[in-house]
Amino acid sequence: MTATSSVTRDGQAPAQQRASFDERTLKVGAAAYRIRHHALNMGEVQGQGYVGQALGAADMLAAVYADQLRFRADDPDWGERDRFLLSTGHYAIGHYAALAEAGIIPVEELDTYGSDDSRLPMSGMSTYTPGMEISGGSLGHGLSIAVGIALGLRHQGSAARVYNFLSDGELDEGSTWEAAMALTTTSSAT
């Protein structure tokens, strides 16, 4: 399977209903392998980058993009898409690899990572990259944004889900816990 032939899910039928557990496991494992491969290549092109973070996050990113997330590769702004928020902006190298694996950006574009005029800056920026929902360079804000988006979507009656990728360092930040506590108080009110 190439990156551009990755299955795009649009909420018509959950992947879990279409494939056996073994098939899904193999698919996620293969995607994780390619994400690691992409990240290593990107680190080599630039001679720098958070390659270790990409290698560590590859399995999670693969599970999200190859098995769980509902999205349209040719329409990254599709209103009913599930949202994946990368608050750890320095993990962008891994996220770009996952976006390429998902067919949202071309694999060849990964070679531009970190270059002037590239859509793939060293830290994740929502205005630069298709499928990058937030700019996450300043750690500790992702969950607050995720809670706001989730509440907004719920208010609109949307079935879209919101995922937030958090680092252990972010779990030490007060803003993260304030967001978690805000969700518990607003959940019953909406």
Ligand X SMILES: Cc1ncc(C[n+]2csc(CCOP(=O)(O)OP(=O)(O)O)c2C)c(N)n1
Query: In angstroms, what is the minimal distance from the CB of 6 to ligand X?
Result: 26
- Alpha carbon distance 171, 83 (integer Å): 20
Query: In angstroms, what is the minimal distance from the CB of 111 to ligand X?
Result: 24
- Centroid of chain to Cα 40: 18
**Contact positions vs ligand X (CB under 6 A):** 53, 88, 90, 137-140, 167-170
Q: Which is nearer to ligand X, 50 or 84 (CB)?
A: 50
Q: Which is nearer to ligand X, 57 or 104 (CB)?
A: 57
Tell me which long-range contacts 148-151 makes (C-beta under 8 A, separation of at least 24): 149/83, 149/85, 150/183, 151/183, 151/186, 151/190
Query: In angstroms, what is the minimal distance from the CB of 169 to ligand X?
Result: 3
Query: In angstroms, what is the minimal distance from the CB of 178 to ligand X?
Result: 14
> What is the number of the residue whose Cβ is closest to ligand X?
169
Q: Which is nearer to ligand X, 103 or 140 (CB)?
A: 140
Q: Which is nearer to ligand X, 57 or 147 (CB)?
A: 57
Residue the block writes with tokens 């803003």: 175
